[in-house]
Amino acid sequence: MNFGKHLLFSGSMLFAAIASSACAALDDQTYSTVISSNPAIGDIVFTRTGGPLFTGVAAVTKTWTSHVGIIVDYQRGDWIVAESGIPFVRKTALRKFLGRSEDRKFAIMRLKVEPTAEQKAEMLKYADSRKGTPYCLGFDLDSKWTFCSKFVHEDVYESTHQSLGEIETFDHLLHSNPNAQLWLWRAWFLGDIPWQRRTITPASELRSALLRVVIQNNL
């Protein structure tokens, strides 16, 4: 695949990811069940973004999730999720955030050592400080830009000093799954996978022993 085809393929995957994140309504019954579970500031919300790239993220991490955000506020009758999405960090109402998840799959998780009121205020403060930060399409933990799992990891750590998720290289991530579609990642990185680049995934945060389930719908 030549350079032009690489760009076309990567651009197509990016367009598919943006298109698949379009908002859809969450039905009243499901939303009512979510609210009855008593979400709270500091809860971590996992969803599934469609499209080939983020479907590939879920597949390589051997789980259903490919996106994550954190509840940081309550406004106008709904909880507010801070998220790093394409193209930048923003806040999204919980109902809208869950509604755009593919197949309505989601999980709301809570830190076992729950944040204090002061730490919850710090979570909102951190999210506001990063608002508008561009999305890092290279999933680079050391970039000045950010992506969903990096953003959540840093918000939780800066606010509570709890380290959520596993930091790993692409070498470890892609070679830990014998069924990883390396061709997809070579195409995304224009033929040259950054094997030693550090990253962090929604899956590693979902599996963290620091969290417990509040509510989930991911079967």
pLDDT at 5: 41
pLDDT at 178: 87
DSSP letters spanning 89-136: EEEEEHHHHHHTSGGG-EEEEEESSPPPHHHHHHHHHHHHHHTTPBB-
Residues 6+ apart with CB under 8 A from 74: 41, 80
The tokens describing 218, both together, are 């991911």
Q: Which residues of 92-120 are buried (b: 16+ CB within 10 A; e: fewer)?
A: bbbbebbbbbbebbbbbbbbeeebeeebb
How far is Cα of residue 14 from the mean position of the Cα atoms in its chain?
A: 16
pLDDT at 14: 55
pLDDT at 140: 98
The single-letter code of the amino acid at 181 is Q
Residues 6+ apart with CB under 8 A from 211: 44, 109, 110, 111, 112, 164, 205
Q: What's the structural domain count of the chain?
A: 1
Neighbours of 132 (CB within 10 A): 10
pLDDT at 86: 93
- Closest to 86 (Cα-Cα) out of 150, 10, 11, 148: 148
CATH number for the domain that contains residue 151: 3.90.1720.10
Contact between 159 and 115 (Cβ < 8 Å): yes
Each of the 219 residues of the chain gets a pLDDT tens digit; together they read: 444 444 444 455 555 555 445 556 789 999 999 999 999 999 999 999 988 888 889 999 999 999 999 999 999 999 999 999 999 999 999 999 999 999 999 999 999 999 999 999 999 999 999 999 999 999 999 999 999 999 999 999 999 999 999 999 999 999 999 888 899 999 999 999 999 999 999 999 999 999 999 999 976
Chain segment 104-142, per-residue pLDDT in tens: 999 999 999 999 999 999 999 999 999 999 999 999 999
Q: How far apart are CA 174 and CA 162, in angstroms?
A: 26
Q: How far apart are CA 69 and CA 90, in angstroms?
A: 10
The predicted model scores a pTM of 0.90
pLDDT at 50: 85
pLDDT at 192: 95
Domain range for residue 97?
3-217
Q: Where do we find the tokens 């259903």? A: 64
pLDDT at 219: 64
